[in-house]
A and B are shown apart, each in its own frame.
Chain A
């Protein structure tokens, strides 16, 4: 990480924080991506309008990322489709039964000082650290 990366990380974080604040003060919702998406997959959840428009906004915003000169999935990265598939299934199951992901627990939950979110965030970071260490040891080059 260079100094420039650090500033970009901080500024990007501020923008993410502003987005979370806007969704809270505007729509009264927690900006948790797994929860927003999960609600659309649950026939019992009826408030689909704001969820759909948020996710559409996310996709439109994402398509602006390369236009602004920032990369996404561009840096060489030694993991293949098996990792994407296995990782995806675990992220889907884990965020559903754990009620949140990096944005929901990590950003919004910690911002509102939720003990559940502090615990979840510490646990998923530790779990991720152990996973990456094991992955690098066992698979080395990537799967």
Chain B
């Protein structure tokens, strides 16, 4: 039973996340590009999505600080890294360029697979290739992985 819940919670939240993306319009690259196009016909939709999402989850993140463990796991698994280092900034710059070029980020990219269109498929295959290349480079190179905390959330 415990195992079933452990599988069900991520599955259900995955469904909810995708439905939220669909309702918000963020599976449309044109809406994302519209948000980034501040010098053109700016579309602020993405800002409203962020306000809604952060508004809700900030409350529950605060609530989680008072819990010793989540419902169906032994502990919380939250990032503990604090440093504002080069890899964080450089990675965010590269991600922003890719986001602006394609109009997709990882969530909407995966969601767009289900449209069966080539655009989403090419994006996802390329993204996975980029992730694998970066991980191979990380294993030897200067970009370190973040540690996961052993205790409850930061």
Mark A residues whose CB is within 8 Å of B: 1, 5-6, 8-31, 33-34, 37-38, 41-42, 49-51, 53-66, 68, 70-77, 79, 81, 83-99, 101-103, 105-116, 119-121, 123-133, 135-136
Contacts and interface: CB of A to CB of B under 8 A. Distances in A.
B98 A91 contact: yes
Given A50-B7, A116-B82, A123 B115 contact: no
Given A41-B132, A136-B40, A99 B101 contact: no
Contacts of B5: 26
Contact of B51 (A10, A85, A93): A10
Contacts, number: 509
B23 A8 contact: yes
A63 to B, nearest CB: 4
Interface SS majority for chain B: helix
B78 A72 contact: no
Given A53-B7, A72-B111, A60 B14 contact: yes
Given A53-B10, A84-B119, A102-B105, A92 B56 contact: no
A65 B52 CA distance: 19
Interface in B91-118: 91-107, 109-115, 117-118
Contacts of B79: 30, 99, 109, 114, 116
The list of the 7 closest CB pairs from A to B, nearest first, reads A98-B91, A92-B130, A12-B24, A57-B14, A13-B52, A127-B96, A87-B102
Interface size classification for chain B: 35 or more
A70 B22 contact: yes
Contacts of A94: 91-98, 130
Nearest to B131: A92
Given A53-B14, A64-B19, A116-B81, A96 B49 contact: no
A47 B98 CA distance: 28
A112 B93 CA distance: 22
Given A81-B122, A96-B130, A96-B138, A65 B18 contact: yes
B130 A13 contact: no
Nearest to A98: B91
Contacts of A75: 28, 30-31
